[in-house]
A and B are shown apart, each in its own frame.
Chain A
Amino acid sequence: EAQVTQNPRYLITVTGKKLTVTCSQNMNHEYMSWYRQDPGLGLRQIYYSMNVEVTDKGDVPEGYKVSRKEKRNFPLILESPSPNQTSLYFCASSSGGAGGYGYTFGSGTRLTVV
Chain B
Amino acid sequence: GQNIDQPTEMTATEGAIVQINCTYQTSGFNGLFWYQQHAGEAPTFLSYNVLDGLEEKGRFSSFLSRSKGYSYLLLKELQMKDSASYLCAVWGDYKLSFGAGTTVTVRA
Contacts from A to B (Cβ < 8 Å) = 33, 35, 40-45, 48, 50, 56, 58-59, 88, 90, 92, 97-100, 102-103, 105-108, 110
A97 to B42, CA, bound (A): 20
**Complex: how many Å from CA A103 to CA B100?**
17
A110 to B40, CA, bound (A): 9
How many A-B Cβ pairs are below 8 Å? 58
* Size bracket, chain B contacts: 20 to 34
Known: A42-B87, A50-B94. A98 touches B30 (CB 8 A): yes
Q: A100-B48, A107-B41 are in contact. List 8 more A-B contacts (CB 8 A).
A: A40-B100, A43-B98, A48-B94, A48-B95, A88-B40, A90-B43, A100-B91, A105-B42
Residue numbers in A under 8 Å from B33 (CB-CB): 102
Q: What is the chain A residue whose CB lies nearest that of B28?
A: A99
* B binding-site residues for A, Cβ under 8 Å: 30-31, 33, 40-45, 48, 50, 87, 89, 91-92, 94-101
Task: Tell me, in angstroms, the Cα distance from A43 to B43 when the chains sit together.
Answer: 10
Q: Which of B48, B95, B100 is most buried by chain A, counting CB atoms within 10 A of its CB? A: B95
A100 pairs with B50, CB closer than 8 A: yes
> Bound complex: CA of A58 vs CA of B96, how far in Å?
10
Residue of B nearest to A110 (CB): B40
Judging by beta carbons under 8 Å apart, are B87 and A43 in contact? yes
CA distance A7 to B98 in the complex (A): 23
* Alpha-carbon separation in the docked complex, A94 to B40 (Å): 22
User: Which B residues touch A97, using CB under 8 A?
Assistant: 94
Q: Contacts A99-B30, A100-B31 hold; do A107 and B87 have CB atoms under 8 A apart?
A: no
The 3 closest A-B CB pairs, nearest first, are A99-B30, A99-B91, A105-B42
Q: Which residues of A contact B45 (CB under 8 A)?
A: 102-103
* Contact flag A106-B42 (CB < 8 Å), given A43-B98, A100-B31: yes
Q: Which residue from chain A places its CB closest to the CB of B32 in the assembled complex?
A: A99
